[in-house]
Amino acid sequence: MDILKSGLKQVEKGLGDFLADTYALYLKTQNFHWNLKGPNFFSLHLLFQKQYEDLAEAADEIAERIQSLGFYVEGTFSAFQKRTSIPEAKKNLSEKKMIQELLAGHEKISGQIRPLIAHFQEVYDEASADLLIKRLGVHEKAAWMLRSHLIPLPGK
């Protein structure tokens, strides 16, 4: 069955918003990777790098999906700023605050993905739903890894 034409514009909007959030979280994660300081520098530097590289790849996949549906990809900073729900990074944050902000970003995106998956399935866009299901797993794992850095060690 083909994608319902009546739902295509909403699919494009959902994917476009998801792309903007993915790109904003990518930029924030890379910013924190560059500006990280503190006792956990090495491990967090590597974690942030792994996460921003994944987000960059995801942004490309999402943009290509939008194109494959026949829509133009709004790939400018101003377009992303209008559509994203991820706040811009602040300067001079502690390691803990950086982790908390990235965690909040992954959790926000995870929460937004779930209703999109259901909508995409309703209009028979299984490819977009599948893309988001995969991304949901990645965001949930990233959140778990970040959350693990916030748990105090016994005796500390």
Q: What is the pLDDT of residues 72-100, one digit of tens each?
A: 999 999 999 999 999 999 999 999 999 99
Spatial distance between the Cα atoms of 71 and 63, rounded to a whole number of angstroms: 10
Q: Where are the alpha helices (DSSP H) in the chain?
A: 8-35, 41-68, 77-83, 95-122, 126-148
Q: What is the pLDDT at residue 14?
A: 97
Whole-model pTM: value is 0.94
Distances (CA, A) of 19 to 1, 12, 111: 26, 10, 15
Q: What is the pLDDT at residue 6?
A: 81
Give residue 59's Cα distance to chain centre.
8
Catalogue all structural domains in the chain, each as residue range(s) with its CATH number. 5-148 (1.20.1260.10)
| pLDDT < 50 stretches in the chain | none
Q: What is the pLDDT at residue 59?
A: 98
* Residues 135 and 58: beta-carbon distance below 8 Å: yes
Q: What is the pLDDT at residue 2?
A: 79
Q: What is the pLDDT at residue 153?
A: 72
